[in-house]
């Protein structure tokens, strides 16, 4: 069985990469996704695109959920017998804990694909905003996609490549747009790696809500704009699948960048997941009559 860990900071493009990577694949692949918050969203996104997935929400697979991660992987192997297992840790989790769990299960070889956002990697690193968290993701990656290069200046991209080379000179770096690879993924699965553990996860608050009614697209966009502008605290990431007056939609907010797109399937349960600091949870709840999950 091939095993791939796809890691990256919040909003870097992990889910998009996996969708692109598995599109047209003929082998049986299963994605184990560890979303932040008590209500996962990425699993439903994968299902809408015909990808088999198993969710492990509400926790961090590199620490509090490590035992659950091991149990879930064992169940996946017994139930699906996949040719390829892909693991997408939450954007606040480091890959080292996942690698340790796979080592305990004697699963080898494993390839780690890291994804960084070319528009923000340099700034976040220089501000030391996440300390050694970046180190864990970068040093344990075999391949690093420098994503969103269409939104970054050439000098910033070059500096990102140089910095990643300093942190992990052995990784293959590949620039991408919308996390799309031009050609196959290099086959460098690592069976004898030395796991380097730094910061296990980022310390953020998470909160999940259920929407009890259909909302207007314009109203919900305004709500996301308010979150982007800091009305409800320092929100670094928000994701929502929601029924609107114009059909099902997916809303995303990542470090001040918003994305709103129609969703390809009916939404089973309209919900919102938010991660950040100093969250105004009661104000969020009142804004659209949201209910905690």
Give the pLDDT confidence of 59-86 residue by residue, as tens digits: 555 555 577 888 889 999 999 999 999 9
pLDDT at 125: 81
pLDDT confidence band for 221 (50 / 70 / 90): very high
Q: Any idea of the CA torsion for 92, 210, 269, 288, to the nearest 10 degrees? A: -110
| Cα distances (Å, whole numbers) of residue 218 to 223, 244, 246, 251, 260 | 9, 9, 10, 12, 11
Question: For 61, how many CA atoms within 13 A lie in the half-sphere containing its CB?
Answer: 29
SS3 37: coil
Asked if pLDDT for residue 241 goes beyond 70, the answer is yes
Render pLDDT for 7-39 as a digit per residue (tens, 0 to 9): 988 788 999 999 999 987 889 999 998 876 555
Question: For 293, how many CA atoms within 13 A lie in the half-sphere containing its CB?
Answer: 20
Q: How many other CB atoms sit within 10 Å of the CB of residue 55? A: 19
Peptide bond connecting 245 to the previous residue in cis, omega within 30 degrees of 0: no
Asked if 40 and 57 touch (Cβ cutoff 8 Å), the reply is: yes
Q: How many other CB atoms sit within 10 Å of the CB of residue 228? A: 17
d(CA 34, CA 41): 10
Q: Where are the beta strands (DSSP E) in the chain?
A: 2-8, 29-33, 52-55, 84-88, 110-117, 143-147, 172-175, 205-210, 234-244, 247-254, 257-262, 271-277, 291-292
Asked if pLDDT for residue 180 goes beyond 80, the answer is yes
Asked if pLDDT for residue 186 goes beyond 90, the answer is no
Asked if pLDDT for residue 158 goes beyond 90, the answer is yes
pLDDT at 61: 52
Asked if pLDDT for residue 97 goes beyond 70, the answer is yes
- Average of per-residue pLDDT across 236-262: 91
Which sign, positive or negative, has the C-alpha torsion 5, 9, 12, 16? positive
d(CA 257, CA 118): 14
SS3 264: coil
pLDDT at 37: 59
Asked if 147 and 119 touch (Cβ cutoff 8 Å), the reply is: no
Q: Considering the chain, tell me which residue range(s) the CATH 3.40.50.300 domain(s) occupy.
A: 2-175
pLDDT at 255: 76
DSSP letter at 4? Answer: E
- Please compute Rg for the chain using Cα positions: 18
**Domain at 2-175: CATH code:** 3.40.50.300
pLDDT confidence band for 129 (50 / 70 / 90): low
pLDDT confidence band for 147 (50 / 70 / 90): very high
Please, what is the Cα angle at 109 between 105 and 113, to 5 degrees? Answer: 105
Q: What is the mean pLDDT of the chain?
A: 86
d(CA 37, CA 204): 11
pTM (2 d.p.): 0.81
pLDDT at 281: 92
SS3 223: helix
Written out in words, the top-level CATH class of the domain with range 205-292 is alpha beta
């Amino acid at each position: 069985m091939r095993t791939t860990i796809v890691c990256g900071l919040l909003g870097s493009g992990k889910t998009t990469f996996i969708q692109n990577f598995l599109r047209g694949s003929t082998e049986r692949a299963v994605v184990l996704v560890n979303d932040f918050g008590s209500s996962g969203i990425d699993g439903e996104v994968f299902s809408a695109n015909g990808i088999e997935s198993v969710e492990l929400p509400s926790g961090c697979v590199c620490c509090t959920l490590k035992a659950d991660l091991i149990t879930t992987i064992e169940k996946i192997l017994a139930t699906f017998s996949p040719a390829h297992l892909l693991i997408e840790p939450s954007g606040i989790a480091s890959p080292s804990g996942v690698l340790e769990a796979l080592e305990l299960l004697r699963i080898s070889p494993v390839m780690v694909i890291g994804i960084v956002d070319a528009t923000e990697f340099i700034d976040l690193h220089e501000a030391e905003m996440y300390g050694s968290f970046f180190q864990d993701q970068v040093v344990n990656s075999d391949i690093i996609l420098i994503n969103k290069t269409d939104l970054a200046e050439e000098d910033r991209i070059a500096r990102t490549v140089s910095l990643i080379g300093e942190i992990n000179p052995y990784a293959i770096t590949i620039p991408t747009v919308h996390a799309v690879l031009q050609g196959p993924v290099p086959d460098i699965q690592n069976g004898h790696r030395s796991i380097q553990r730094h910061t296990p996860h980022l310390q953020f608050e998470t909160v999940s809500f259920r929407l009890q009614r259909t909302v207007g697209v314009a109203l919900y966009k305004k709500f996301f704009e308010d979150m982007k502008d800091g009305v409800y605290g320092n929100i670094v990431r928000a994701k929502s699948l929601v029924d609107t007056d114009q059909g099902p939609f997916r809303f995303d907010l990542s470090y001040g960048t918003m994305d709103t797109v129609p969703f390809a399937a009916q939404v089973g349960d309209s919900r919102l997941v938010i991660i950040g600091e100093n969250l105004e949870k009661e104000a969020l709840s009142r804004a659209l009559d949201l209910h905690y999950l």
